[in-house]
Structure 1
């Protein structure tokens, strides 16, 4: 990854200038290994993937870096509550800063650098033209608190989960590109509480197994999973707080504009253990691809047709697809030779 490979700023709102290059489409994390889908744990060890893939490094940086960081700054300016750190999570915040800086500097040396002499650190971000000397552990030496400082420079959302009393609690995080959930609402909730709206999974025992698995994650052995939904327009911030800005767009889908308007939204959820605090970092890296872009990979379009056609009614409702589900299934059928 070089400076030249990162696009100029594109927009995730208003005129929606966001698009994927052919290279970005080729590395898109298509989330369906089969022709059907059912909510499941689907957690796996986060082993290093092929060079150039989204799994090559712990924290993926791609051509949309400038755009996502500009969008994050815009959201935080409008709503500072999108970043929250409870008082007992200060060590975990510094833990997160250290982990992100170390991996970004090691994995993308053309973009980032980190030099340390004891607690005196020097961080450089060449993409955003930042050059910061600071004292690790002393928030007064940074422009803002440590979690916000580093996550303004990392793609994706981050929840920092405190592990105590046999559970995980969402006690810190930055969430500016959520798929219809709110950090302000979920703050302080336990693992099962913030997953309560998910249909069917509770009856299947999915979250009991997931919680047990996550609480046993060891330092240096992160895990990951893919999650998905659909979004109208390439809009990153689909939070409940901004529903009045985007909710009506679900009624704008027609047979003529499916390819342009409807986007497959895939989250790469990455979960490493933070070594100083023992908190669990829950990274949610979002990738968007329009149906027109997705259709350049005909096997994906065929499989997506079958997945969405046979999706259980409860999941159609939960994922907010009810108003346009039949329209997109019909549009995708053109790519399915058996339709």
Structure 2
């Protein structure tokens, strides 16, 4: 007797963290590409959908912004703003807070008269008034305040000399890189260590695309790696805290619960007044055990990890355990 599985019922029973997860693969192999598409385009997956909002709020909202504040208290260097980028930070506030209120009208609102603004965030039981351009009107400064309201990291690129320069940002959840080190560098220099992308001219094409962005235009792309445990802060600054586990996790029976697929949804926005380009980097983590609850995902992730070229696996820091992860997925 054959057994019929109601896949719709199985999908309906999945938790929201799986239904909303931005699954990053379109095939059973992966190579670097720009993979840019319009912002807020809804993407249907085998588990649900994602992508309908610019600033996604999920079950981790309060814990994520709390963790960001704790990281910044320990290491203020995670905020960098070169003096000429102050207008871009205020431009981001004037762009993102209204968008967030529009997407969450039951829990947030934004009102502006001239440069005087009022922001209400019911999820945080917060109401604040501030003045655009007056850094002292927001406790901790405008960029730290904005980082306390959204789950995304932020990187600001200035355009000059026919190139893009990373001149400001707030990054507490970096995937093995350092904002403090990269601030002041050109776009090409930042991506120099990434294998293949310079030779294949991916960085050059990406930069040309960004240089052509018009004020107010919004696009997005995804990027991925693996992370051990639900650890958001895997910055270079905290390397000793998380890197040693890469060498031992392959033999850990808890590997399926501890190894997470880490996906970044990166929004690319040409800010309308300053002309700076804002990268929003939202990080999502889903364990391999959760991945395996969606059979198509289990198969694809297993085969992507098995097929990934060694130089790319080494750069992502997963070469010592990607085979164990792939073997588990494909045997499940």
Would you call these one fold, judging by a TM-score over 0.5?
yes
Look up the SS of the partner of 2:50 in the other structure.
Answer: coil
Matching residue of 1:177: 173
String of CA shifts for 1:92-129, please: whole Å, max 9, x gaps: 01001111111011111122111122222111111122
Look up the SS of the partner of 2:21 in the other structure.
Answer: coil
Task: Identify which of 18, 35, 42 aligns with 1:42.
Answer: 35
Matching residue of 2:138: 142
Distance in 2, matches of 1:79 and 1:47, equals 33
Contact 2:40–2:53 under 8 Å retained in 1: no
Contact 2:215–2:273 under 8 Å retained in 1: no
Residues 1-339 of structure 1 aligned to structure 2 (within 5 Å): 22-49=15-42, 53-253=49-249, 254=251, 256-335=253-332
Look up the SS of the partner of 1:114 in the other structure.
Answer: strand
Distance in 2, matches of 1:26 and 1:300, equals 12
Distance in 1, matches of 2:319 and 2:111, equals 52
4+ aligned runs moved over 3 Å, structure 1: 50-54
Contact 1:84–1:174 under 8 Å retained in 2: yes
Aligned-residue offset at 1:49: 1.9
TM-score (normalizing by structure 1): 0.90
- RMSD, aligned CA: 1.5
Unmatched runs of 5 consecutive residues or more in structure 2: 1-13
Look up the SS of the partner of 1:90 in the other structure.
Answer: helix
Aligned-residue offset at 1:54: 3.3
Unmatched runs of 5 consecutive residues or more in structure 1: 1-20
Judging changes above 3 Å, is the alpha-carbon distance between structure 1 residues 326 and 50 closer, same or farther for their aligned structure 2 residues? closer
